[in-house]
Copies of this chain bind each other. A is one copy, B any other.
């Protein structure tokens, strides 16, 4: 599987936020209505989620998309 930079960063962002909430991948998946193995793939950077999925995840963290993407990792060159 191909890991692009944005996928890796996105995965790190999801994992960080998930841990901040103290949730397991399973409970996050349940909240989002997504599959646990898919969350796993996202956090490992091997998945390229669609806009719908990105919104679903951000919403589950109760964040607007601009806040979700306002993170240092996304701004490195």
Residue positions of A touching B, CB distance < 8 A: 4, 6-7, 10, 48-52, 54-55, 64-71, 74-75
Q: Indicate if the CB atoms of B69 and A75 lie closer than 8 Å.
A: no
Pick the contact of A49: B50, B65, B69 (CB < 8 A). Answer: B50
Pick the contact of A65: B50, B55, B74 (CB < 8 A). Answer: B74
Give the dominant DSSP class at A's interface. Answer: helix
Pick the contact of A51: B6, B64, B67 (CB < 8 A). Answer: B6
Q: Indicate if the CB atoms of A51 and B49 lie closer than 8 Å.
A: yes
Q: Indicate if the CB atoms of A66 and B70 lie closer than 8 Å.
A: yes
Q: Indicate if the CB atoms of B65 and A69 lie closer than 8 Å.
A: yes
Contacts of A54 in B (CB 8 A): 51, 54
